[in-house]
Amino acid sequence: MSERTQPVSNRLVVVGQGYVGLPLAVRAVEQGFDVIGLDLDEERITRIGAGDSPVEDITHARLQAALATGRYRPTTDAGDGAGFAIAVISVPTPLREGAPDLSFIETAARSLGAHLTAGACVILESTTYPGTTQELVGPLLEAASGLTVGTDFALGYSPERIDPGNPTWRFENTPKVVSGVDDNSLRVVQGFYDQIVERTVAVSSPKEAELVKLLENTFRHVNIALVNELAMFAGDLGVDIWSAIDAASTKPFGYMRFTPGPGVGGHCLPVDPSYLSWSVRRRSGHAFRFVELANDVNEHMPDYVVQRIIGLLNRHGRAVQGTRILLLGVAYKAATSDWRESPSVAVAERLAALGADLQACDPHVPEANLAGLGLSLVPYGPDALAAADLVVLLVDHPAFDPDEICRTASLVFDAKGMLRGREFSGEIL
C-alpha cells in the first residue's frame, strides 16, 4: 500500500457495541476520533443513544460526555460508516455444536467491504482461531470492495483484552497486542492503537496474534479446572483446599493464584479454548487433550455444586423439591452484569428440574435479561436471606455482605469461599 493510500482521516467505525466495542468507541472519541458505533441490536443502540450505558465499565456520565462531543454516533445503519479510515470488528463468535460460528464476523466483513475505500484499514478484534483474518476476513473484504488487501487497504488483528468489572486494568492501560498482514498494515494498526492505549505489543502476523488470545484464556481455563478438580477431591483427602491455596499463594515465583467456583462463564473461558481445540483437530487431526479435559471438569462443576447442595439438604432432613432456595449471583463474575454462559444459570436449571422453589439476587443483572429462564429476581437484603431455606452463594458481588449472610441465613452453601473464617450453618465448596 503506497503512501498516498494511508488513512487520511480520523473517521472510525466500531462494529459491535457491547462489552468490547463500546469501551473502544468511547475511548476513541475521547482521543479525538469521529466514531460510528455500529450494532444490529436496535434496542441496544437506542439505549446507548439515550446515554444509558449497557456496560458497567463505561459509566452513564462517560457515555453521555462522548455523545455530547457530537463525534460519537451509535447506529444500526452500516451506510453511516461510509468513508471510514479505520474499522474495527468486535462482534460475538459463539460456538455452535462445538464448532466456531463466524457468521457475525462474515456479516461485518461484507458490510464493511461494501464501503471500503483505498487507504482504509480494517482490524478484527473478535476472538477466533488462527487464520481467520487472512483466510476469511481478507477475501470477504476483497470480494465486496473489488480492492486488494495489502495493496489498496490495510488489514490486521488485535485481540481484545477487556476484563469486565476490573477497576485496575482498563482498556486504555492494558497492553494491546497488534498485528498486520504485511509491514505497512502493521504500521497502520499499531499507529491507530498507539493513539488510544498506553502500550502496544507488535507480533509478526495475525495468526500469531489470534493465538495469543486463545493461549491467554486457555491458560486460565486449564488452571481453573485444576483447582476445581482439586476442590472435588480435597474433602476425601481431609484437606481445606482454600487454606492450601492461600499458603501456595505466598510463593513469590512459579505459582499463580486460581480459586475454585461453580464453573466458568462469560464469552471467553467456556468458548475460546474450544476454538483452539477445534482448530488443532481440524489442522492436525489430533486432540488438544489439556483443553478437552479442562472443558470436562469445568462443564461439570454446576453438577458437582448441585450434588453438594443435595447432600447438605439431606443432612438437614430436607429434599430439594419444595425447598426455598435463594441464589446469590446470576452473572458469571463479580461486579458485572454479563451472564453469558454463567454457571449460575446452569445451577439454577438443575435445581429447578429437581423441584426447588427458586429465587435469585443480583444487583447487576436486570430481570428482563433473564426472561425465559423461569428465574425471578428479588432485592438483596435481610428479608430475602431470612425467607430462604437455603442460600447458595454463587458470585462474590461486593454487595453481598458476608457477615449479614452468616447472621441472617439459616443454611448456606458457599461456592466462592466468601464466608471463610466466619461462623455459619452450612458448607463451603
Tell me the backbone φ, ψ of residue 421, rounded to 5 degrees: 85, 0
Identify the residue whose cell numbers are 443435595.
Answer: 310
- State the helix-helix crossing angle for 241-248 and 206-237, rounded to 10 degrees: 130
The DSSP output letter for 51 is T
**pLDDT tens per residue across span 128-175:** 989 999 999 999 999 999 999 999 999 999 999 988 888 899 999 999
The DSSP output letter for 418 is T
Take residue 336 and report the three cell numbers written for it.
458485572
Tell me the backbone φ, ψ of residue 197, rounded to 5 degrees: -125, 165
Residue 247 pLDDT > 90, yes or no?
Answer: yes
User: Hey, what amino acid is at 421?
Assistant: G
Is 0.85 topped by the overall pTM?
A: yes
196: helix, strand or coil: coil
Higher-pLDDT residue of 5, 283: 283
Take residue 417 and report the three cell numbers written for it.
469461599
Q: What is the pLDDT of residue 236?
A: 83
| Cα(326)–Cα(383) distance, integer angstroms | 11
| Cα(151)–Cα(163) distance, integer angstroms | 35
Residue 91 pLDDT > 50, yes or no?
Answer: yes
Structural contact between residues 405 and 383, judged by C-beta atoms closer than 8 angstroms: no
Mean pLDDT of 66-90: 96
Please tell me the total number of residues recorded for the chain in this structure.
Answer: 429
Give 378's contacts (C-beta < 8 A, 6+ positions apart): 326, 359, 360, 361, 384
pLDDT tier at 4 (50, 70, 90 boundaries)?
Answer: very low
Structural contact between residues 25 and 17, judged by C-beta atoms closer than 8 angstroms: yes
The DSSP output letter for 321 is T
Identify the residue whose cell numbers are 458469571.
Answer: 332
Q: What is the pLDDT of residue 267?
A: 65
pLDDT tier at 315 (50, 70, 90 boundaries)?
Answer: very high
Take residue 327 and report the three cell numbers written for it.
441464589
Structural contact between residues 155 and 161, judged by C-beta atoms closer than 8 angstroms: no
pLDDT tier at 56 (50, 70, 90 boundaries)?
Answer: confident
Identify the residue whose cell numbers are 425447598.
Answer: 323
The full set of domains in the chain, from first to last, is: 3-204 (3.40.50.720), 213-297 (1.10.1040.10), 300-428 (3.40.50.720)
Catalytic positions: 268
Structural contact between residues 149 and 184, judged by C-beta atoms closer than 8 angstroms: no
State which of 86-100, 161-175, 370-384, 391-405 shows the largest mean pLDDT: 391-405
pLDDT tier at 5 (50, 70, 90 boundaries)?
Answer: very low
Mean pLDDT computed over every residue of the chain: 91
Which residues make beta-bridge pairs with 427? 413
Q: How far apart are the first and last CA of the chain?
A: 57
**pLDDT tens per residue across span 162-185:** 888 888 999 999 999 999 999 999
Identify the residue whose cell numbers are 454457571.
Answer: 343
CA distances from residue 278 to 95, 152, 243, 270, 274 in whole angstroms, order as listed: 10, 33, 36, 13, 6
